[in-house]
Amino acid sequence: MEIQVKSSNNLLPNALSKNLTNDKINLSILIPVYNERHLVAASVNRVLALKSDLISRLEVIIVDDCSQDGSWNIIQQIAAHDERVRAVRQKHNQGKGAAIRTARDLATGDVCVVHDADMEYDPIDLPALLVPFIEEGADAVLVRAISPLPTGAP
């Protein structure tokens, strides 16, 4: 994983300069969901298992974008068993961007991270994303996954 730091004013609603205590972050993980019943529980459980000395508080906001496959029932069960999870369902399908904005508007953490429900990302990488916020006062951290070229590729 390559981490790029971009610093700019007012990129995030909960500007960080203010709330860091003892170099720890209140982290909000935003999870947009649409028809992910086969993966959502495993994905959220991996996020909830995240442990790091850089995280003082973890909140997980799951926004279901009117899934038709039973995802919402699974999300409700997860939220009922873990107080760190907040479950929200859109009134009608609005797309991933709207689900992320809904979650962001509900977030109370110092830093918001988007985590897809399809297990594309591994939560074990999240603590590395927090370092630029703590050490450099970054407003945003952009991540680009880099995978090696297959053997024989140009």
Domains within the chain, CATH numbers bracketed: 21-121 (3.90.550.10)
Pick the range with the lowest mean pLDDT from 13-17, 28-32, 61-65, 142-146: 13-17
Tens of pLDDT, residues 68-103 = 999 999 999 999 999 999 999 999 999 999 999 999
Residues whose CB falls within 8 Å of the CB of residue 128, separated by 6 or more in sequence, listed in order: 1, 3
Q: Is the pLDDT score of 45 beyond 60? A: yes
C-alpha 135/C-alpha 13 separation (Å) is 20
pTM: 0.83
Residues ≥6 apart with Cβ < 8 Å to 6: 138, 139, 140, 141, 142
pLDDT at residue 138 tops 90: no
- R_g of the chain, CA atoms, integer Å: 16
Listed range (82-86, 127-131, 138-142, 147-151) with the worst mean pLDDT: 147-151
Q: Is the pLDDT of residue 152 over 60?
A: no
